[in-house]
Amino acid sequence: MKIAELKQYDANGLSISRDSLFEVTGVVYGGNTRSAGSGYSFTIIDETGGISNYAPAVASTFGYTATQGDSILMRGRLTHFNGLHQLDFLDTIIFFKSNAQLKTPVVKNTVDEEAENDLVQINNVQFVAPAPPTWGVSGSGSNYKVYNTVTNDTFEIRILPVNNLANTPVPTGVFNVVGLGGQYDFSSPYTSGYQLFPRDINDIIVNEIGDFDLISPANNTTIQLAGDPAQTAQIVWSNAEALNSSPASEYTFMLDLPTGDFSNPVASFDAGTDTTLTFTYGQLADAFSATLTPGNSLTLLWTVEADNGNMTKMAQSQYLITFERGVIDGIISATQIARIYPNPATSVLNIEMNEEAQSMELIDMTGKSVMKINESFSSRQVSVDGLKNGVYVLKIEQNGKQYQSRVVIQNR
């Protein structure tokens, strides 16, 4: 008989075929969850579903030691224990073979009736605070309340004394968990109290960011900022692979002093999920205008940080880059024609012209225009609420000439 045929439920969450004898075949998952000499309790799964069993210590063990991957036949009475369906009073266990193919876990958001006696995986899990230091176990087992950080579904992980997870360190951040769905509901209707039983330490999967590295410009590259301000320099790095079903990373390009450690970088620029960041020479000259005047040079260390929302990871390398400042054509500081304040700006940026301007534009360090006003003004108060923190270039057109100035946005 297929296991799914046993799981036809009534309104109270119980099988309509309970208290009858059944014979099923399937593959053992997780092994025996009872300690040596105290009987049987394990799960078998066929292509349609799963079922647990129970046999007390006084019952025959049929000369069989439950091992994950064993293909077996078992026969017993269909009943339940606090809502968990199982075959008890076993009178037969027949072993067929070992090392049977295990199924791929079913990815779910939480543990429910469909997960009962099935192998499921729930991603993006975190402890309901406070997190314990270890998977401590007391008595017959311990429960840990966790939640799905994406859907906010809350459920319990139960660790048994026989599990090799017992007393090992818990993940400090977000993780994925695989396990067998269980239930412990004291009263009818049996529609709550669902739990997840990891089989062993390998069922706790920490979200990780794969190693990645810098590509270009190469270490000790010199870029001469001169001539056409529209010329571009590209920063390129490799992709940080999302491991163990972790979300994709977003990147931050960082510059620091050659003696720095990037804990407090000189400058940082968001790149989103892209692995390339493009700057114009004009933007670079303006970004470092206070320390990089014409005829001078500035050497900095650069790297990239990946952040998947659960953890951060730095590129494997840190490269030196030198900017030499020549004459950038056509760029006149906007501070010669306007009072621009406060800088850094928080919620608003004020622009007071010495005489009427015809347009203004705010551009981020990737070259993307984030605000544009094509009308004449003598003074303007610009809301910068909602803009990402960082360095921007303010362009002002006045009487056919273009002026630029660096503006820092620092929203609270």
Contacts of 187 (CB under 8 A, 6+ apart): none
Whole-number pLDDT of residue 330: 67
Q: What is the CATH number of domain 332-409?
A: 2.60.40.3080
CA torsion 314→319→325→327, rounded to 10°? -80
pLDDT at 230: 82
Task: Assign a CATH topology to domain 106-206.
Answer: OB fold (Dihydrolipoamide Acetyltransferase, E2P) (2.40.50)
The pairing of beta strand 194-197 with beta strand 154-159: parallel
How far, in Å, CA of 116 to CA of 120, rounded?
9
Cβ(371)–Cβ(382) below 8 Å: yes
Per-residue model confidence (pLDDT) at position 58: 67
**What would the two tokens of residue 62 be?**
């049929």
Supply the pLDDT for residue 331.
67
Q: What are the two backbone dihedrals, phi and then psi, of residue 336, each rounded to the nearest 5 degrees?
A: -75, -20
Query: Cα 211 to chain center, whole Å?
Result: 15
Fold that domain 214-328 belongs to in CATH = Immunoglobulin-like (2.60.40)
Q: Which long-range contacts (CB under 8 A, 24 or more apart) does 109-113 make?
A: 109/148, 109/150, 109/151, 109/153, 110/148, 110/151, 110/153, 110/154, 110/155, 110/194, 111/155, 111/156, 111/181, 111/182, 111/194, 111/195, 111/196, 112/181, 112/194, 113/9, 113/13, 113/183, 113/191, 113/194
Cα 145 to the center of its chain, rounded Å: 20
| Gyration radius of the chain over CA positions | 32
Kindly report, as residue ranges, where domains of CATH 2.60.40.10 are found in the chain: 214-328
DSSP string, 279-303: EEHHHHHHHTTTT--TT-EEEEEEE
- Give CATH 2.60.40.3080 domain extents, the chain: 332-409
Whole-number pLDDT of residue 357: 94
Which of helix, strand or coil describes residue 30? coil
Residue 365 is classified by DSSP as T
Do 51 and 66 touch, CB atoms closer than 8 A? no
Q: Compute the distance between CA of residue 299 and CA of residue 258 in angstroms, rounded to an integer.
A: 7
Residues ≥6 apart with Cβ < 8 Å to 292: 225, 285, 298, 323, 325
Look at residue 85 in the predicted model and tell me its pLDDT.
94
Residues of each domain in the chain carrying CATH 2.40.50.140: 3-97, 106-206
Q: Is the pTM of this model over 0.75?
A: no
Give me 150's structure tokens: 């994406």
Local structure of residue 375 (DSSP, 8 states): S
The DSSP result for 125-138, as a single string, is EEESSSPPSB----
CA angle 363, 369, 370 (to 5 degrees): 90
For the beta carbon of residue 84, count every other beta carbon within 10 angstroms. Answer: 22
* HEC readout, 213-282: CEEECCCCEEEEEEECCCCEEEEEECCCCEECCCCCCEEEEEEECCCCCCCCCCEEEEEECCCEEEEEHH
Listing from the earlier edge strand, what are the strands of the sheet with 390-398?
Answer: 332-333, 401-409, 390-398, 359-364, 369-373
What tens-digit pLDDT sequence spans the chain (412 residues)? Answer: 899 999 888 999 899 999 999 999 999 999 999 887 788 899 999 999 999 999 887 666 688 899 999 999 999 999 999 999 999 988 899 999 999 999 999 999 999 999 999 999 998 899 998 889 999 999 889 999 999 988 999 999 999 999 999 999 998 888 999 999 999 999 999 999 999 999 999 999 988 899 999 999 999 999 998 878 888 999 999 999 998 878 899 999 999 999 999 989 999 999 999 999 999 988 888 888 778 877 789 999 999 999 988 788 999 999 999 999 876 776 677 888 999 999 889 899 999 999 999 999 998 877 788 999 999 999 999 999 889 888 888 999 988 788 888 888 987 6
220/37 Cα distance (integer angstroms): 68
What pLDDT is attached to residue 43?
97
Determine whether domain 3-97 maps to CATH 2.102.10.10: no
What local confidence, expressed as pLDDT, does residue 59 receive?
67
